[in-house]
Structure 1
Amino acid sequence: MDQRVEFPRLLTVADVAAILHVPVSTVHHWAQRGDGPPSFKVGKHRRFDAEVVARWLDDVKAGAA
């Protein structure tokens, strides 16, 4: 029996910046202020769940309409 654990795709600050076409410093500022897509730290490294970022972006787009 194959029992695999499915983990979410984790994105780095640079990944999120590239996806959103914003500077890396903007993503860092968002994280410090609690703005932008939700994130968490693994040690000293900030990570973003790709599905959460996608939902956040959908919410932003819906609010801009």
Structure 2
Amino acid sequence: MATAKPSQPVTELPARYLTPNDLAELLSIPLETVYAWRKKRTGPLGFRIGKHLRYDPSAVHDWISNLTEHAA
């Protein structure tokens, strides 16, 4: 998966559920941050498939949109 450049907004997300590693890479943040968000319930909504954590790309997009709306 290609890494987004920090200066460019993410415009396209994969058409599959994202792993925590995918999310960290996509946002150019440490993996520990993704898990900290999950623990604090401040990040995008994730779900479990058995023991595996996944994120819906549309939920990630909505979460980012919500952040940018409140920052403006």
TM-score (norm 1): 0.81
Query: What is the count of residue pairs matched by the alignment?
Result: 58
- 1:10-30: CA deviations, max 9, x gaps? 000011111111100000111
Q: Distance in 1 between matches of 2:48 and 2:40?
A: 15
Residue 57 (structure 2) pairs with residue 50 (structure 1)? yes
Gapped regions of structure 2 (runs ≥ 5): 1-14
Q: Distance in 1 between matches of 2:36 and 2:22?
A: 15
- Structure that is richer in helix per residue: 1
Moved over 2 A (4+): none
- Structure that is richer in strand per residue: 1
Gapped regions of structure 1 (runs ≥ 5): 1-7
- 1:23-58: CA deviations, max 9, x gaps? 000001111121110001111111000011011101
Q: Distance in 2 between matches of 1:20 and 1:63?
A: 18
Q: Distance in 2 between matches of 1:29 and 1:21?
A: 15
TM-score (norm 2): 0.74
Q: Which residue in 2 is equivalent to 1:63?
A: 70
Larger Rg: 1
